[in-house]
A and B are shown apart, each in its own frame.
Chain A
């Protein structure tokens, strides 16, 4: 079945900087914003952009991700021609390998892409929170007659040296690519979102694979090779909310951003819906003594305590007299009466016993000791336990270092 454009979503990364949150699942499957998983954003963007065929490249701990994606129905990606396909590494008659890098992952699935014989392929990554119309980027790619179009956004000059920076000419064609430059010449950062003309990309993937010195990575190898060969590379400027949630701090930040539409991340805006596979549970219940302010909450939750500046996923229970502030609670968390949770991320099904105190505020903690407190999924804290700011506990309640 011929398609003009399909998407390939790189979702195989471990997300090691999310530490205990990704010990059992791949980063794109991590819960976000109360009712979403990170992967809901690129998948919903595809559907809203009119892309009905998506290959999801998985590798690290794929069980949770696979079962979440399922048939693709929540994102309308269960059509009879196309839809969402989970693509793990595989064995062939001459053996097989893990995906060695982002480019190699696509290389190993050339057969899948060729099934749809597309003119263009969009390469996405599964760790970004943003709403973006890929069809506009594709239009830019076509109008520019480019071999590759790279989505970029302006970042503060002071931070430019943390990103892959694109230097562009007057017509926004990329002239140079610098990975984390010391002296950036531009403040246009690559967002890790590419549109390629498939025929050209296919050629470069084959050449990249043949090069044993290559790390088989788009940013490190394929893009520089195409630039060096003089391919026409266009930049596509994006100016909305975009955040890489690859670290605990950025994941927490993005959750807090969701509470304030002024941040640019307005999930109540239904003109560009973000779809999710939702659990079946009755609406949330807020009790007589609950006090909830500037917070989000979800189905199946029962809130009897105080919740401030926090994001609560489905099936969260907050007991009477408990207080949760500036925290992100993933699905199924229970905070028993009288417990306090501050500046923390609590993994799925954590149980915080009566009178526990998890985390601390920056004001009450010495600056060098302060940090987010993180509990691994299924971590159970006995009564009255104190978990200081900046610590991380594994599922057995033992402290682990970052």
Chain B
């Protein structure tokens, strides 16, 4: 056990994931050929030596429960500590008049009794929809050494994200302003990863509750940035927040770049995921597959280019798949043709059908659809 505790937030936020988000929380969206988004946060934590992780679940969380199980895939099925799933605790209370949290502070207030059980002195809060491979143990160590109240982790690329938080920094990296709902983003994009002491977190939750404040960004970061020392940590590597179909698609396609893969799938900080009991992937005598990621159990008899195939995808002979992301068990029948498609699980595209999206508007095929 080290001194850091993990909190992951997986609840419905305003996002633009269309059909992909209807049946699941953004945290359990499949990404990168064999992962779910939350695998990244969990692996980041485990690779930093974190042994205790709480996941705040809300909204359509069935697929998250199914995915997480006991946590054994991340070595978080432990006698003491390990993974704790935190669904709505205080059922009777109507948070904000609705049965949905208005913000992170309200979600934390709901699991306030859990916060008292945290054994570690520091907490790192992450979102389940963040795809990244952070050196969290370095971030944690530098937080403790810096004497900051809260360390906010920022990305350093030109990508925008839906409903993102942006930070203005002074030359010492201290946060001078916190902005969101920006029409034209400026400053550093926050990755919604925060390190702070457990004591401060509880104090903030209690103080916010007593004032009916619920927003982490507005009521803590913006309102208290004066008295609190907010320090930034800039991450220069790949960091994707999956909040819209377009972001999902663009970020997936980035994985075809070897440098991005090397950054995200580092051997010294492996991303752990649930195993699929599939056999090897197979390409047939006439199959062709170029510039693509291909997971276990795929069977390719047709043509695949610039695509990401999840386990068990079948591309029959004569079929052509270009610039697509095909989730588990998608079947593309003979002579069908797909371009710029994101197909959810168990989609079947019948023979000779043609479907074309565009890089600026990838088409989503809902789970189980037969085209």
Whether A35 touches B291, Cβ cut-off 8 Å, given contacts A281-B265, A282-B271, A283-B34, is no
**Given A296-B282, A297-B281, A298-B280, A281 contacting B287 (CB threshold 8 A):** no
- Provide the residues of chain A in CB contact with B72, threshold 8 Å: 73
A282, A289, A298, A312 pick with most chain B CB within 10 angstroms: A282
CB distance from B94 to the nearest CB of A (A): 42
Chain A nearest CB, measured from B299 CB (Å): 6
User: Given A285, A297, A299, A312, which contacts B261 in the complex, CB threshold below 8 Å?
Assistant: A285
Closest chain-B Cβ to A171's Cβ sits at a distance in Å of 38
User: Which A residues touch B272, using CB under 8 A?
Assistant: 280
Which of A62-70, A92-100, A146-154, A266-274 lines the interface with chain B?
A: A266-274
Bound-complex Cα distance A282 to B43 (A): 13
Give the interface size class of chain A. 35 or more
Residue of A with least CB distance to B273: A280
Contacting residues, chain A, for B34 (C-beta < 8 A): 282-283, 299
How far does the alpha carbon of A293 sit from the alpha carbon of B279 in the complex, in Å? 17
- Which residues on B sit within 8 Å (CB–CB) of A360? none
Main secondary structure of the interface of B (DSSP, over half): loop
User: Closest Cβ of chain B: how far from A45's Cβ, in Å?
Assistant: 14
Q: Are B282's CB and A286's CB within 8 A?
A: no
Q: Is the interface of A mostly helix, strand, loop or mixed?
A: loop
CB–CB A293/B299 < 8 A: no
Chain A contacts for B290, CB-based, 8 A? 286-290
Q: Tell whether, in the assembled complex, residue B289 and residue A290 are in contact, meaning their CB atoms are under 8 Å apart.
A: yes
Q: Say yes or no: is A109 at the interface (Cβ < 8 Å to chain B).
A: no
CB-CB contacts of A287-322 with B at 8 A, as 1s and 0s? 111111111111100100000000110000000000
Bound Cα distance from A284 to B33, whole angstroms: 9
Q: Are B293 and A284 in contact (CB under 8 A)?
A: yes
Q: Is B286 an interface residue (CB 8 A)?
A: yes
Is A275 engaged at the interface, CB distance under 8 Å to the other chain? yes
How far is A278 from B277 in the complex, measured between Cα atoms in Å? 9
Instruction: Find residues 4-34 in chain B having any chain A CB closer than 8 Å to their own CB.
Output: 32-34
The one of A282, A287, A295 that contacts B282, using a Cβ cutoff of 8 Å: A295
> Is A33 close to B, CB under 8 A?
yes
Question: Which A residue sits closest to B282, measured CB to CB?
Answer: A296
Residue numbers in A under 8 Å from B288 (CB-CB): 291
User: Which residues of chain A from 300 to 348 have any CB-CB distance to chain B below 8 Å in the complex?
Assistant: 302, 311-312
CB distance from A400 to the nearest CB of B (A): 29
Find the A residue at minimum CB distance from B284.
Answer: A294
CA distance A93 to B364 in the complex (A): 70
Interface membership of chain A positions 18-59, coded 1 if the CB is closer than 8 angstroms to chain B and 0 otherwise: 000000000000000111000000000000000000000000
Interface residues of B in 273-315 (CB under 8 A from A): 273, 275, 277, 279-297, 299, 308-309
B283 touches A294 (CB 8 A): yes
Q: Which residue of A74, A283, A298 has the most chain B CB atoms within 10 A of its CB atom? A: A283
Q: By the criterion of a CB under 8 Å from any partner CB, how many residues of chain B are at the interface?
A: 37
Q: Which residues of B contact A276 (CB under 8 A)?
A: 277
CB of B279 within 8 A of CB of A268, answer yes
Most buried by B among A285, A288, A299, A302: A285
> Do B285 and A293 touch across chains, with their CB atoms under 8 A apart?
yes
A259 at the interface (CB under 8 A from B): yes
List which B137-177 residues lie within 8 A (CB) of chain A: none
Partner of B294, one of A268, A273, A286: A286
Q: Which of B220-268 contact A (CB under 8 A)?
A: 256, 258, 261, 264-265
C-alpha gap A73/B69 in the complex (Å): 14
Question: In the complex, which residues of chain A have a beta carbon less than 8 angstroms from the beta carbon of B368?
Answer: none
Cα distance A291–B284 when bound, in Å? 11
B266 to A: closest C-beta gap in Å: 10
Nearest B residue to A278 via CB reads B275
**Interface contact A274-B279, CB-CB below 8 Å:** yes
Contact check, A273 vs B277: say whether CB atoms are below 8 A apart: yes
Instruction: Write out the residue numbers on chain B whose beta carbons fall within 8 Å of the beta carbon of A291.
Output: 288
B270 contacts the other chain (CB 8 A): yes
Chain A residue nearest in CB terms to B256: A285
Q: Closest chain B residue to A289 by CB distance? A: B290
Cα distance A74–B277 when bound, in Å? Answer: 9
Note all chain A residues with C-beta closer than 8 A to B261. 282, 285
How far apart are A295's CB and chain B's nearest CB, in angstroms? 6
CB–CB A299/B277 < 8 A: no
Residues in chain B near residue A259, CB distance under 8 A: 282
Cβ of B296 and Cβ of A268 under 8 Å apart? no
| Complex: A35 Cα to B279 Cα, angstroms | 7
Given contacts A35-B296, A275-B277, A287-B290, contact A281 B283 (CB under 8 A): no
Return chain B residues, CB-CB under 8 Å to A298.
280-281, 296
Q: A292-B289, A299-B295 are in contact. List 12 more A-B contacts (CB 8 A).
A: A35-B279, A268-B279, A268-B299, A273-B277, A278-B275, A278-B296, A280-B272, A282-B261, A284-B295, A294-B284, A298-B280, A312-B280
Binding site for B on A (CB under 8 A): 33-35, 73-74, 258-259, 267-268, 273-276, 278, 280-299, 302, 311-312
Could you pull out 28 A-B pairs where Cβ atoms are within 8 angstroms? A33-B279, A34-B280, A35-B296, A74-B275, A259-B282, A268-B282, A268-B299, A273-B277, A276-B277, A278-B275, A278-B296, A280-B273, A281-B265, A282-B264, A282-B293, A283-B32, A283-B34, A283-B293, A283-B308, A292-B289, A294-B284, A296-B280, A297-B280, A297-B281, A299-B34, A299-B295, A299-B296, A302-B258
Sort A-B residue pairs by CB-CB distance and give the 7 closest, nearest first: A34-B280, A283-B33, A296-B280, A267-B279, A283-B295, A282-B265, A294-B285
